[in-house]
Amino acid sequence: MEIKTLLKASVAVGALLALAAPMEAAAGGKVSAANSKVDVTLAGRVHRSIHYIDDGTHD
């Protein structure tokens, strides 16, 4: 994909996000544990990265 096409697509996505009305943030729910004397937290992060690369010869 041409770099200009990718840039245009990315800007379009950004514009849609900027125009969209935000959702209300939901409060975190409590995680139950077998040991009732402690507070337990379950958390995580997933990220996806799309890369365009140009090494001067290949892209």
Q: Does 29 bind another protein (CB under 8 A)?
A: no
Question: 31 by DSSP, 3-state: which?
Answer: strand
Q: Does 30 bind another protein (CB under 8 A)?
A: no
> Which amino acid, 6?
L
d(C-alpha 7, C-alpha 3), whole Å:
6
Half-sphere exposure (Cβ direction) of 29: Cα atoms closer than 13 Å: 3
Q: Does 2 bind another protein (CB under 8 A)?
A: no
Q: Does 13 bind another protein (CB under 8 A)?
A: yes
Among 12, 18, 30, 32, contact with another protein (rule: CB under 8 A): 18
Among 12, 23, 27, 30, contact with another protein (rule: CB under 8 A): 23
